[in-house]
Chains A and B, each alone.
Chain A
Amino acid sequence: MNLYEYLGKDIFRQNGIPVPDGYLVEKPEDVRKYIKPVVVKSQILLGGRGKSGGIKFARSDDELKNGVRELLGSEIRGLKVTKLLVEDMIDIKKEMYVSISLNRTERKPMLMATTEGGVEIESLPHEKIFLRLIDPLMGYSDYIGREASSFMNLSPEISSQFRSIVSNLYKIFVKYDCELAEINPLVVTGSGSLIAADAKVVIDSDSLFRHKEFNVVDPEKTKLELEAQSKGYSFVEMDGHIGVIANGAGLTMATLDALTLHKGKPRNFLDLGGTDSVDIVVTAFDLVLKANPKAILVNIFGGVTKCDTVANGIVEAKKKFNIKQHIVVRLSGIHEVEGRQILKDNGIDAFSDMMSAIETVVKLGSGSQ
């Protein structure tokens, strides 16, 4: 889960990383009296906010009020701005970059640092970036910061501040179960102090059970995705018109791929998981129906999930929700014959192979309803 900048900065502040003083604005009345130059920053989860007009500079009370009025409620690249961070303007002499992230290839935390910050790190040539894998059991130690400082030719004054920041950033990475803890830019001010001008913190969603402090809903999920999540389903909305229910993440993805290769457009990803409960199937239909698909494809490879249970769930859902759309079902594996018979008895076509079901649903789903 991606955290808003202001939440990331709260974490930085509580863990010894210097950040500019600031406050959150959610309605115009939250704006405080103008005292000194400030930056008004839209709290949206997009790179390149400044270039898209999401950041305003204010050097007077009028500019502050105008900036807030312009940004609050506006839309930036399709995202609605509901929160602003108003922060003291900082005197930028130089912009650096530092992050700790998970390196999936090496399966270790990785420190990245460069004196050429303020731009997307991906746009920089490799030789400009200090890259260092960290053994997760040894953790971060000061010598790693000294290696980075040496690579970047930092002065002793800057190096000592930098090493304290990296040490705290690594503590944050571990303490909050981060996928990424990034400061870009890490600003060197005119007076020679380091301060985090931005904060990007991504938390491992699987760790939220031990982070009750993040009592926030994932801002990157749709309403329906959040509802599905609260009911225990992996669900992703897509922009097509064929609703999909399958079991297992891999098979569900393979179902979407096969639909797409047949010029069918999936409306969603829904993984039923390993289940032997009729209710779980019925609730899955409830979720998919809320996405208004033109047709629904169910693709089950039975193991732990029994095909007859799924068939009973489909029949019950069809009655309960008075489903008018075509339902096309593929059942293979444990109790498949019984499952297909149950469907047949209730007027629902069922196939034993995946490709026939895909071809059929694409034909039915593309016809006029």
Chain B
Amino acid sequence: MSGLVDENTKVIVQGITGHQGKFHSGEMVKFGTKVVGGTSPGKKGQSVNGIPIFETVADTMSVKPNATMISVAAPYVRDAAFEAIDAGIKLIYILTEHVPFHDTMEILYEAKRKDIVMLGPNGPGITRPGYAKIGIMPNHIFKKGDVAVASRSGTLTYEIVGSLTNAGFGESTVIGLGGDPVVGLTYIDVLKLFQEDKDTKNIVLVGEIGGNNEELAAAYIKKNITKKVVAYITGRSAPPGKRMGHAGAIVEHGTGTAESKIKAFNESGVSVAEYPVDIPKLLR
């Protein structure tokens, strides 16, 4: 699939000696991902899970990475992302939660100017069974197949992927877009990729309250997507004005409701599951 991860993806982990970086770089390697290096200030020359540690992203260029997973604390994400952009990394996935959205906007528009793909923040990563995984999704839930999934959340995605795999389906690509109000890729961006992707026959969109990206996706699907699309929307019981865990999951001034998103999908011919476990039934 063009633009995102494949067998040529060579990823570095910024913040590889942190709790998350240490554990998940190992899991990524087990999944078959080429993790070529990591950064952690003051630890150059050491290694984690057999992966060499460098002082800076510029130094990692000696092992020719083309993607990075950023797993540093929120106050340092802007610096880490700019460092990756400046070094010439072509794909940036930010896992970190609680990044100020002003920082995300700066990273996003700087990346756009340089044709760099940026995903997240506050997402679980991208997984392409049989090829590579960037992020923290649990390895055991996946099976190679033809269903592509895009979601704004983490665990809920695993729940749905798990139910797909248990029902005999498999996944072509699973993308966590991130739970923040400002994220790098939107549903429309990934729908384009899914439509072009030869491995993908079915598409699952997992949405939630807040913003109107699901509504825009619904309109886009009606016009441009010929593959089967089904959806699940969460947050229908959320009280208005309250942030439901994700910074982006909030109903404000009556906009961003689950009802509006479900209605938009239904009007575009996209079936919406009442419960996460119903997704496989809708694909049959």
Which A positions have Cβ atoms within 8 angstroms of B? 102, 104-105, 107-109, 122, 135-137, 174, 177, 179, 204-207, 209-210, 220, 234, 236, 238, 246-254, 256-261, 266, 269, 271, 274, 301-304, 332-334, 353-355
Contacts and interface: CB of A to CB of B under 8 A. Distances in A.
A223 to B, nearest CB: 15
A266 B238 CA distance: 10
Contacts of B243: 205, 234, 236
Contacts of B236: 257, 260
Contact of A107 (B105, B156, B157, B209): B105
B281 to A, nearest CB: 13
Given A108-B105, A204-B102, A236-B239, A250 B234 contact: yes
With most chain B CB atoms within 10 A of its CB, the pick from A122, A236, A252, A253 is A253
B70 to A, nearest CB: 16
A109 B249 CA distance: 19
Interface of B: 23, 74-75, 98-102, 105-106, 108-110, 113, 136-138, 140-141, 151-159, 162, 179, 181-183, 206, 208-213, 216, 232, 234-239, 241-249, 253, 258, 274-277
Contacts of A105: 211-213, 216
Nearest to B138: A303
B273 to A, nearest CB: 10
A177 B153 contact: no
B245 A252 contact: yes
Given A301-B159, A334-B138, A260 B237 contact: yes
A252 B100 contact: no
Contact of B249 (A253, A303, A332): A253
A177 to B, nearest CB: 5
Contacts of A261: 274-275
Nearest to A225: B242
Contact of A253 (B136, B238, B274): B238
B101 A355 contact: no
Contacts of A109: 105
A271 B151 CA distance: 18
A252 B209 CA distance: 13
Contact of B208 (A108, A246, A253): A253
Which secondary structure dominates chain A's binding surface?
mixed
A301 B154 CA distance: 10
B235 A257 contact: yes
B156 A250 contact: yes
B101 A206 contact: yes
A58 to B, nearest CB: 32
Contacts of B276: 254, 354
Contacts of A107: 105, 108, 182-183
A353 B237 contact: no
B234 A333 contact: no
Contact of A252 (B102, B138, B244): B244
A136 B109 contact: yes
Nearest to B152: A250
B101 A204 contact: yes
A104 to B, nearest CB: 4
Given A234-B245, A301-B159, A253 B275 contact: no
A256 B238 contact: yes
B123 to A, nearest CB: 11
A102 B213 CA distance: 15
Contact of A259 (B23, B237, B238): B237
A322 B276 CA distance: 34
A333 B159 CA distance: 9
B246 to A, nearest CB: 4
A179 B210 CA distance: 14
B277 to A, nearest CB: 6
A251 B216 contact: no
Contacts of A247: 155
B81 to A, nearest CB: 14
B155 A137 contact: no
Given A250-B153, A354-B276, A104 B158 contact: no
B275 A355 contact: yes
B206 to A, nearest CB: 7
A251 B243 CA distance: 14
A257 B237 contact: yes
B98 to A, nearest CB: 4
A236 B242 CA distance: 7
B106 A253 contact: no
Contacts of B75: 209-210
A256 to B, nearest CB: 5
Contact of B100 (A104, A204, A251): A204
A248 B153 contact: yes
With most chain A CB atoms within 10 A of its CB, the pick from B99, B241, B242 is B242
Nearest to A259: B237
Given A177-B100, A253-B153, A253-B237, 20 more contacts: A105-B213, A107-B105, A107-B182, A137-B110, A179-B101, A204-B247, A236-B243, A246-B155, A249-B245, A251-B155, A253-B209, A254-B159, A256-B238, A257-B258, A259-B237, A260-B237, A261-B274, A261-B275, A304-B23, A354-B275
Contacts of A102: 101, 181-182
Contacts of A135: 109
A209 B74 contact: yes
Contacts of A104: 181-182, 210-213, 248
10 contacts: A102-B182, A104-B213, A137-B113, A246-B155, A253-B245, A254-B159, A254-B275, A260-B236, A274-B154, A304-B138
A5 B41 CA distance: 43
B244 A136 contact: no
B100 A304 contact: no
A245 B214 CA distance: 27
CB-CB nearest 10 A-B residue pairs: A250-B153, A248-B155, A249-B245, A250-B156, A303-B138, A207-B100, A260-B237, A251-B155, A234-B245, A136-B105
